[in-house]
């Protein structure tokens, strides 16, 4: 299917996961869960409110990956889409996560 809207699309496939995390933006901090991840981005489900608009810088921290810096791409209904800053540190952390910790999560409920 072609992209007729001239929008940036996803460049790498996402994998479902459930990783408890903390996300920080300026002086705000919120508990969250990573619900899907790829080598270029991730989606977070927030447990509390975080006022971060598209383009805002955030830091995600969890036990499996460590500290990852990123930019908010979208913020909808208590979820954030994060584009990970592509530097050697974050690429190494993500490669280690996929090699050592990642387990694909399947939905529990079906329709």
Q: Is the pTM of this model over 0.85?
A: no
Would 110 be classed as within a structural domain? Answer: no
What is the domain range of residue 69?
Answer: 15-97
pLDDT of residue 107: 64
Q: 4 vs 58, which has greater pLDDT? A: 58
- Domain count across the chain: 1
Output the domain CATH number for residue 72.
2.40.10.220
Would 34 be classed as within a structural domain? Answer: yes
pLDDT of residue 12: 73
Would 5 be classed as within a structural domain? Answer: no
Arithmetic mean of pLDDT, 68-87: 94
Would 79 be classed as within a structural domain? Answer: yes
Residue 39 has pLDDT above 70, yes or no: yes
Would 6 be classed as within a structural domain? Answer: no
DSSP notation for 14-56: -EEEEEEEEEEETTEEEEEEEEEE-SSEEEEEESS-----TT-
Would 10 be classed as within a structural domain? Answer: no
Would 111 be classed as within a structural domain? Answer: no
């Amino acid at each position: 299917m072609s992209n007729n809207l001239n929008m940036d699309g996803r460049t790498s496939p996402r994998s479902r996961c459930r990783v408890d995390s903390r996300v920080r933006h300026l002086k705000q901090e919120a508990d969250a869960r990573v619900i899907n991840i790829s080598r270029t981005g991730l989606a977070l489900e927030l447990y509390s409110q975080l006022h971060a608009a598209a383009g805002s810088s955030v830091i995600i921290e969890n036990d499996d990956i460590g500290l990852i810096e990123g930019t908010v791409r979208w913020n909808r209904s208590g979820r954030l889409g994060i584009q990970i800053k592509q530097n050697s540190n974050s690429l190494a952390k993500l490669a280690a996560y996929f090699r050592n910790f990642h387990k694909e999560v399947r939905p529990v409920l079906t329709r």
